[in-house]
A and B are shown apart, each in its own frame.
Chain A
Amino acid sequence: MPRAPLFTALAATALILAAASLTLGPAPLSPARVAAVLVGDGDPVARIIVLGLRLPRAILGLAVGAMLGTAGAALQGYLRNPLAEPSVLGASPAAALGAVIALYFGFAAATPLLLPVFAIAGAVAALVPLLWLAGSKESPLGLILAGVAVSALTGAGIALALNLAPNPFAVAEITTWLMGSLEDRSFADVAIALPCIATGLFLLLWDARALDALSLGEDGAATLGVNLPAVRLRLLAGVAIGVGGAVAVAGAIGFVGLIVPHLVRPLTDRSPSAVLLPSALGGAALLVAADIGVRLIATDNELRLGVVTAFLGVPVFLYYLRHERRLWS
């Protein structure tokens, strides 16, 4: 599929879903009432619902989905491994752990800005041992093995936080951070997340061509003029800052980073650079769709986003694998 129509189709899908998400929820609003609010009029009730609740939620859904999709695509390209995603390197769970620490030791209550700082610090803290463990060798397998080790350590840290949690409500809250949610997010959260996500996207999209060159392996890429240490630093920084910012407001939402690149790849020429932007748009669309699902499926407690992205994404993913598996044999 040519680039321009693919970008347009995916962007349109994401925007239509985001627009639909403004009208959907416990109190359905007609498109006309939502449109009136968006152009600056509208009745007070609609204004509160749209501007206070649904618009920040939709914006965050788009931004977080775009970040996770891009991070997955960039990591798969860099590691040349179709299994890669932010949580494989421990970035998402470590960011969630950072956010949990900020919440439970009261840092976030004192200074709201500390929440994303802790989440990013968590992601960075997960990625630094990766740089160290993987050493000077530019081996993707070394990075993945180190990432698995870091993930295990992060899991232990989260289990510890659950153990030490002061009460059952705290445990429930931590679980939220681990499965992800966009419930009750405001423009303050948007202000926290967007700069981080924009920085992360910029850093990850920067090295699109280096990722293409890496399809030939490290030596092949180096002789095509790629500065491998600089690429690795930008990539890990982009993942840490972007995913850290996303997790700081939405929790660790799984599967998006893994699934979306695989879903859009057959629509491209399959080169890592061609998958990046479609993964951003597809991730935005998938996360907003999942967030609509969360609101439409009536349950006592609102469903967690990570649960719905898994239920939505995994069947499509498995269907895709059936058709594409010859390429991975």
Chain B
Amino acid sequence: MVIGPLNASGVDVVLRATTIGAALRATAIDVDLAGRPVLRGVDFAVASGEFVVVIGPNGAGKSTLARVLAGVLRPDAGRVMLGGDDLAMLSPLRAAVRCAYLPQGATLAWPLTVERLVGLGRLPHLAPFSRIGTADRAAIEDAMVRADVLALRDRVATELSGGERARAFLARALAVGADVLIADEPLAALDPGHALAVVDLLRAEAARGVAVVAVMHELTLAARAADRLVLLDGGRVVAGGPPAAVLDAATLARVYGVTAWHGAADGEPLIVPLRRNR
């Protein structure tokens, strides 16, 4: 489902996600892990063509939220709707073709080639005992082109550099061809150039009409790239909306306990944490 071109002014996008049917919507999510509350009353929505970045301090519940949205973790309370369907009611296979998930610190157990790794994204599309078809091949090829890993297709994925590896795993998620993409810390351990490449890739997916959710720690990159930020702290959504509105000095001081320098470059916000508040 593609709703018009990407609109970078966050307010419209917020309205789109909340009024028109969201591609993915979570309502009143509670999660307890090992008896400890991790998420409390979290509401979240992302529309097709929207790029939402989830930020928050370590332990805020970002990854847990990503896992709930991806259907990996069943919330203790609340509901996740994928389009018009309750995620808990969908069969794993039906959900898999509609929502792609890139886990945090993605690992690969066997030394597969990049092409084979990307091909794993087509698994939910294959009928039992059937071989990979021309449509699957085209989707794999397309995902490798979009993630710029075509030149690496015959390399062993476990032997790639961090930046190449991040793109290869992202290509695996793209190959699913889902209308929702959830990426948990896709920028972890990437240098600025590779981080920007991955952000551009996620933006491009949103521009194609995919609902993109990413968990990130890099505030400036998040602020510049996202249509909308969702700030988690202590398992609750403490702020949400256009980046400039979420990342003001008071919020940074309250949530992260830091004083930051706020500036602008190319008309987009720039945030540099300066020191911890005592």
Contact = CB atoms under 8 A, between A and B. Distances in A.
A101 interface: no
Interface in A216-243: 216-220, 222-227
A213 B67 CA distance: 17
Contact of A225 (B108, B112, B124, B172): B124
A324 to B, nearest CB: 9
30 contacts: A80-B109, A212-B120, A213-B123, A215-B112, A215-B120, A216-B108, A216-B109, A217-B103, A217-B106, A219-B70, A220-B103, A220-B106, A222-B72, A222-B92, A223-B71, A223-B72, A223-B95, A223-B101, A224-B96, A224-B120, A224-B176, A225-B92, A225-B93, A225-B96, A225-B124, A226-B92, A269-B113, A271-B112, A327-B156, A327-B158
Contacts of B71: 222-223
A327 B113 CA distance: 12
B92 A270 contact: no
Interface in B42-88: 67, 70-72
Contacts of A219: 67, 70, 72, 101, 103
Contact of B120 (A216, A227, A327): A216
Classify chain B's interface size. 20 to 34
B103 A216 contact: yes
A213 B103 CA distance: 13
Given A215-B110, A219-B103, 9 more contacts: A80-B110, A214-B109, A220-B101, A223-B70, A224-B96, A224-B124, A270-B112, A270-B116, A271-B116
A218 B101 CA distance: 12
A173 B70 CA distance: 55
Contacts of B72: 218-219, 222-223
A215 B109 contact: yes
A217 B101 contact: no
Contacts of A214: 109
A244 interface: no
A327 B92 contact: no
Given A223-B72, A226-B92, A272 B99 contact: no
Name which of A80, A220, A223, A227 has the most chain B CB atoms within 10 A of its CB.
Answer: A223
Given A223-B72, A224-B120, A209 B126 contact: yes
Q: Which 8 A-B pairs have the closest CB atoms?
A: A225-B96, A80-B109, A225-B93, A223-B101, A225-B124, A215-B109, A219-B103, A225-B92
Given A217-B103, A219-B70, A220-B101, A227 B110 contact: no
B107 interface: yes
B99 A223 contact: yes
Interface string B87-130: 00001111111011101001111111100100011011010000
Contacts of A225: 91-97, 123-124
A111 to B, nearest CB: 38
B35 to A, nearest CB: 15
Contacts of B94: 225
A272 B110 contact: yes
Contacts, number: 77
Classify chain A's interface size. 20 to 34
Given A216-B172, A219-B101, A327-B158, A224 B123 contact: yes
A227 B103 CA distance: 17
Contacts of A227: 92
Contacts of A222: 71-72, 92
A213 B122 CA distance: 10
B95 A270 contact: no
A196 B106 CA distance: 38
B264 to A, nearest CB: 37
Nearest to A206: B128
Nearest to B66: A219
A280 B81 CA distance: 44
Nearest to B111: A327
A46 B64 CA distance: 70
Given A223-B96, A225-B95, A217 B120 contact: no
B182 to A, nearest CB: 8
A169 to B, nearest CB: 46
A216 B172 CA distance: 10
B106 A216 contact: yes
Contacts of B113: 269
B117 to A, nearest CB: 8
Contacts of A270: 110-112, 116
Contacts of A216: 103, 106-109, 120, 172
Contacts of B176: 224
Contacts of A212: 120, 123
